[in-house]
Amino acid sequence: MEDQEIDVEENVQEPDVEENTSAPLPIVGQSFDSWTDAERCLNSYAKKNCFQWTTDTSTSIKNENKKLTGRGETVLYNEALVHKNIVLTCVSGGKKRINQGTGQRNFQATWKVDCPVMVHLIANKTALVVKKIITQHNHTCDQAYFKALPKTRRSNLNDDKATSTAKLLFKGGVKPSVVRSVLRDMGCGEVTQRDLANLRAKFEKI
């Protein structure tokens, strides 16, 4: 299954480093009455600690309930739990991707550094329960790292001011390197060539 980032706030905000020590740490045995509650807790912890989650594996409550119904069972899982079994990892989990090309592309091929941070939740009929959690990263988690993450960049680039500025610069024939520099100065993080290509494609559809 292809990794997917779990949903976070539409506008990803920079983490408040001063609040990191008070971030709510999910613990083994902790239960949630819905996936929304679990997601809110996990996203809050991740944001305050300058990283993001991605889905490693998951199975759905909806499919499980279909199986139970097919067997004639009447006690089903609460569909608000969404997942019967889900494992989330740090976005830097997994094996490091090796760049086979001759050029180096910063912030595009370096996210996977086999970070061990993960959380495993399993549903009983009424709640999602944390079965395992690892919180020690093998890489630096700071505001620079958080700003450079793809989802943070996408959120920042979707800001109306950033979008209108980029559109104006493209229309004026400004070099991509200059556009990237302007967007970085506006707080959009480490803008990549792929980010610019996506913006161009977006403007062409309008």
Regarding pTM above 0.85, the answer is no
Domain ranges of the chain: 21-145, 149-205
pLDDT tens digit at each of 206 positions of the chain: 434 444 444 444 555 444 444 557 889 999 999 999 999 999 999 999 999 999 999 999 999 999 999 999 999 999 999 999 999 999 999 876 555 554 444 444 457 899 999 999 999 999 999 999 999 999 999 988 888 787 777 666 667 787 788 778 888 888 888 887 888 777 676 777 777 777 777 777 65
Read off the pLDDT of residues 16-33 as tens digits, 9 standing for 90 and up: 444 444 557 889 999 999
Read off the pLDDT of residues 187-199 as tens digits, 9 standing for 90 and up: 676 777 777 777 7
Nearest residue to 189 via CA among 167, 160, 162: 162
* The predicted structure's pLDDT at residue 94: 82
* The predicted structure's pLDDT at residue 10: 41
